Each structure stands twice: as structure tokens, then as C-alpha cells.
Amino acid sequence: LDVVRAVEPRIADAIARELTAQRESLKLIASENYASPATLLAMGNWLSDKYAEGTVGRRFYAGCQQVDTVESIAAEHARELFGASHAYVQPHSGIDANLVAFWAVLAQRVEAPFLREKSVRQVNDLTESDWAQLRHDFGDQRMLGMALDAGGHLTHGFRPNISGKMFHQRSYGTNPTTGLLDYDALRETAREFRPMIIVGGYSAYPRKVNFATLREIADEVGATLMVDMAHFAGLVAGKVFTGDFDPVPHAHIVTTTTHKTLRGPRGGMVLCQPELADQVDRGCPMVLGGPLPHVMAAKAVALAEARTASFRDYAQRVVDNAAALAEGLQRRGVRLVTGGTENHLVLIDASQLGGAATGLTGRQAEAALLDAGIVTNRNAIPQDPNGAWYTSGVRIGTPALTTRGLGVAEMDTIAELIATVLSSTRPAADSKAKYTLDESVAAKVSGQASDLLSGFP
Ligand code: PLP
């Protein structure tokens, strides 16, 4: 850090303070983790300085031997870890991985059949009506993804993301009574809407998803099944999600981030069946610039770690801890969407406690918890009356604290701390953001959180 400090001390300070904050607060954000020192160090080096557009063995720059080695090893680990026939490790983030996947599917299903009929010369000479046809074909593409308030992600066809502009979107949701994914309704919507792509996967759904059923539905309507396993890739890698709950054997194409439960560097990755491999490998230059070789090196290290027995043990503990946290919260009157969890995350309905209305929004609950040293994020719940900004929910997850070594006993203490904050926070009458939380309560809970963490440095 001194080397950085000599150039720009404010950046060195921000890095040091970030480390302190991450050490001293209860990190319960479901999409965060602590990458290993080996993973972090594999990222901070001279590979960062290299340009390597293209793919392994087919680069647009000279001198890419080491990048080829790095990319091949990362892809090999990914294939072997997930049992995938093809892996593309260049995407810089989860959004990029999804964009690569969308274009690969579009290219396979629309562009390739169109262009197959034309020679290269003809393509250069496409007429206005050819282009109109192409635009029509692309414009008519449909995507069916999980509704945002049911736990889906913005990249699954929603307006603020380019996927909502590339595709006509419809969403599937959860049963209003149980909160569980409604496969029959999904099948009905698919039959009627006839999507080109069905997207499985989520950011805030606390249950397993049956991907064999999704594939059956996709096959029935002629859709490509894409699964975005960004949130639960670590549980697939750690063999907690197997059989019908492992997306890799069922989906045509799978995308993921590498930094959540998988515990790698920030980044993305695409796994796919052989018929999509060529299109996926065109991610650069289609939607990606030069790869980040230093991040691919860190992906290789993290994937190697994920192939160990200790990672399997970690993945199981993530799920055991989430179950213990959910049970502890419910015992203290906290309402959970779906009534529990089967994965790494728990979705709290902050608007109720002990069966009574609290009047709290997710935003108020998130801020009050932060005052008490508990880092979470607000999240919409199904049919959320407070919309996507204020929300009524708080999402929490166990990947990071499990990495630190906390176990089920500590989860019960954390449930107590969360319930204490929620029961002590009062919403302001005139604002969905303001609230009061007695300073002494915040200080006491924050002290208890620090004491708890001091046992797990
Ligand atoms: N897909 C899912 C399901 C996610 O939850 C997220 C991030 O929260 C992403 C994609 C996007 O990942 P990134 O932030 O790396 O672009």
C-alpha cells in the first residue's frame, strides 16, 4: 500500500479503510464474498498490461503466449469443475456474460440462418429490404425471464438494461400464497408467448430451481434455455445443487459471475453446449473489447480452489448457515419470503414483525441495519407496494461470513441482532427513507457484531 500511497495517498487510504470496513462489519450482502489472497494476488500483476483480443491461438496481437496459457487453464478448470463441454472466460462481468450469451443465441437462431443463404459478397451488398427483414427478425425476438419482484435480474429482459431493448419481454413469477416459483404458470406463459429464450436464474429467490423442468418447457415451445447462475454458481461448483438443480446439463447456455458464491475475482463466464461454442467465442469483438488477462488468471486460481474438497465443504456450510439464519429469524417473528431458504440467501419482509405491520420500507431497514454495523441490501419482494427503489424487503446472504468461518451458532446470534434492530426502528411518518433508531441500540448491536467477528479475524 505504501507504493500506492506515494503516488495518490487518498486512494491508499480508501483501500485501507475498505479493508477495515470489511473486517469490522457483518457482511451479509448475498452477492459478496472474500476472495482468497491467491486470487487477489493473481490479479495484481503485469498480465494487466497485455492486449489479447481474439481467442486462444487466434489473437489479433503478437506476444500472447502467456495469455493463451492463462485463458486455456481457466477454461479447462471451468469445464472440468462444471462438467461443461465449452467455457468462455473472457466476460468482464455478469452483464457482459449475459450479453455474450444473448448475441450467441441470436446469431445461432436468426443471423446464421439468414446469412447462410448469402455469400460474403451478397452480405456486403445487402439491400434495404434485406436489412428490413433482418431488423424485423431481430426485433421480433422474445425473452421470458423471472420477474424482477420475484427475484429476477435486470439483464433478464428489463427496460433499464439493454436486454429489455433487444427483446420483447414477458416474465414469470411466483405463487402469491407460497412465494414459490410457479412452474405451471411458467409453462402456460411459454406456450402462449413462444419465447426464443427462456432465462432461468435469479438474484433474490431463496429457493432451488428445477432446471430439468425448465428445459422440458423450453423444448416444448422451441426455446433456447439460458440459465444465469451468477448467484449460486458456488453451490453448483460445490455439488450442493446437483441433478435437476444443476443447470449445466440441462441448459443450452449458462452464464455466471465469478465473484459471488464462487468466490473468485469480479468477472463473468459463459458455459455452453457445443453448437453454441463458436458464437460464444466471438464475444470479443462482438460485445467485448480486449480480455482482462490478469482477471482471467485470478479466475483460473479461484476455479482451481473451487475444485477442492474444502470448497465443497464451504458450499455446504453456506447453505447450512443460511438455513440456520432463516430459522433464527423466523423464531424471532421475522417474516421471510417463501418461509425459508434452500440456498445462500434469505429475503426478509421488513414490513412485518411478529405478525404486525412495522411500516418500514426496505430502504429504512437497510439503513438502520447499517447504523448497527450490519451490511445488507434492500430488495423488492413479490407484489412489492414500495416499488424497486424503496422496496419492502432486505436481502441477506451467508457466502462472505461463511468464508470467515462463522457457523450455525453465530447465525443465531446474527438473527438476534437483526431482529433487535428491526424491532427498534421506527419509520418517519412523512418519508419512505427516514427513520429513527436509538443510538444506544445501534451502538450496542454494533459492539456485539464486532465481538462476534473478533473471533473470526
Ligand atoms: N446476473 C445475476 C443473476 C446477478 O445477480 C448479477 C449481479 O448482481 C448479474 C448478472 C450482473 O453481474 P455484474 O454486476 O458482474 O455485471
pLDDT tens, residue by residue, 26-58: 999 999 999 999 999 999 999 999 999 999 999
Start-to-end Cα distance in the chain: 20
Which atom, in ligand 1's list, is nearest to the CA of 266?
15
Q: Which residues pair with 256 in a beta bridge?
A: 269
In sequence order, what DSSP letters do the residues of 395-416 get, joined into one string? EEE-HHHHHHT--HHHHHHHHH
Is any atom of ligand 1 closer than 6 Å to the C-beta of 231?
A: yes
Reduced to 3 states (helix: H, G, I; strand: E, B; else coil), residue 265 is coil
Single-letter amino acid code for the residue at 53: E
CA of 99 to the centre of ligand 1 (A): 11
Let me know how long the chain is: 457
Which atom, in ligand 1's list, is nearest to the CA of 95?
16
Is any atom of ligand 1 closer than 6 Å to the C-beta of 230?
A: yes
pLDDT tens, residue by residue, 81-133: 999 999 999 999 999 999 999 999 998 887 766 666 666 556 677 778 877 77
**Ligand 1 pocket test target in 96, 148, 153, 299 with most atoms within 8 Å of CB:** 153
pLDDT tens, residue by residue, 131-185: 777 666 655 689 999 999 999 999 999 988 999 988 999 999 999 999 999 999 9
CA of 335 to the centre of ligand 1 (A): 26
Which atom, in ligand 1's list, is nearest to the CA of 267?
15
The reported pLDDT for the residue numbered 141 is 86
Q: Which residues pair with 54 in a beta bridge?
A: 59
The reported pLDDT for the residue numbered 138 is 59
- At residue 6, does pLDDT exceed 80? yes
In sequence order, what DSSP letters do the residues of 108-127 get, joined into one string? IIIIHHHHHTS-HHHHHT--
The reported pLDDT for the residue numbered 130 is 74
The reported pLDDT for the residue numbered 166 is 87
What the block records as the C-alpha cell of 357 is 405491520
Whether residue 173 is annotated as binding a ligand: the answer is no
> Which stretch of DSSP H or E encloses residue 254?
strand 253-257
- Main-chain dihedrals φ then ψ at residue 341, nearest 5 degrees: -150, 150
Q: Which residues pair with 201 in a beta bridge?
A: 228
CA of 113 to the centre of ligand 1 (A): 31
- Omega prior to 285 cis, within 30 of 0: yes
Mean pLDDT of the chain: 95
Whether residue 153 is annotated as binding a ligand: the answer is yes
The reported pLDDT for the residue numbered 64 is 97
**Ligand 1 pocket test target in 155, 199, 266 with most atoms within 8 Å of CB:** 155
Among residues 53, 453, 131, 456, the alpha carbon closest in space to that of 293 is found at 53
pLDDT tens, residue by residue, 376-430: 999 999 999 999 999 999 999 999 999 999 999 999 999 999 999 999 999 999 9
In sequence order, what DSSP letters do the residues of 154-206 get, joined into one string? GGGT-TTSTHHHHSEEEEE-B-TTT-SB-HHHHHHHHHHH--SEEEEE-SS--
CA of 94 to the centre of ligand 1 (A): 5
Pure H helices in 332-361: none
Tally of helices (H runs) and strands (E runs) in the chain: 21, 18
Whether residue 148 is annotated as binding a ligand: the answer is yes
CA of 95 to the centre of ligand 1 (A): 6
* CA geometry: angle 102, 206, 398, nearest 5 deg: 105
Residue 187 near residue 226 (C-beta atoms within 8 A): no
pLDDT tens, residue by residue, 289-325: 999 999 999 999 999 999 999 999 999 999 999 999 9
Give the residue, by CA position, lying nearest to ligand 1 atom 5: 203
**pTM assigned to the model:** 0.95
Residue 448 near residue 431 (C-beta atoms within 8 A): no
* CA geometry: angle 36, 93, 39, nearest 5 deg: 15
